[in-house]
Amino acid sequence: MMVVGDTGKAILFKVNDKKEHWSVLKRWTVHNIALYDNTYVCTVKASPVYDMFITATINGNVKLWSIEGDYIAEINQPSWPSNVIELAQE
């Protein structure tokens, strides 16, 4: 499970089968956002099929991450490859 705060800081947790204990797998900043900035993180979506997730800010900044929390690409940039899903799976 991943939790992202409105300042762009994230924590990736491993949750046991009984959901009684969460172990921290990784802490990092997914978006560089200042406190009270209007570009706060508004969406986090996971794809169990591709083992990836995306994060998005209110101003449209969208990033693709591996399920382990490694940065893959910024999706909404003119230079991002159209085959980013295939690249990320390799």
Distances from the Cα of 6 to the Cα of 19, 42, 58, 64, angstroms: 25, 7, 10, 17
Residue-wise pLDDT tens digits, 6-37: 677 888 887 777 767 788 888 888 877 776 66
Enter the pTM of the model.
0.59
| Residues sharing a CB contact under 8 Å with residue 88, sequence separation 6 or more, in sequence order | 50, 52, 64, 66, 72, 73
Per the structure, the count of domains in the chain is 1
First-to-last C-alpha distance (Å) of the chain: 23
Q: Are 65 and 53 in contact (CB under 8 A)?
A: yes
**pLDDT, tens digit, for every residue of 74-88?**
877 666 555 655 655
State which residues form the domain around 15.
2-89
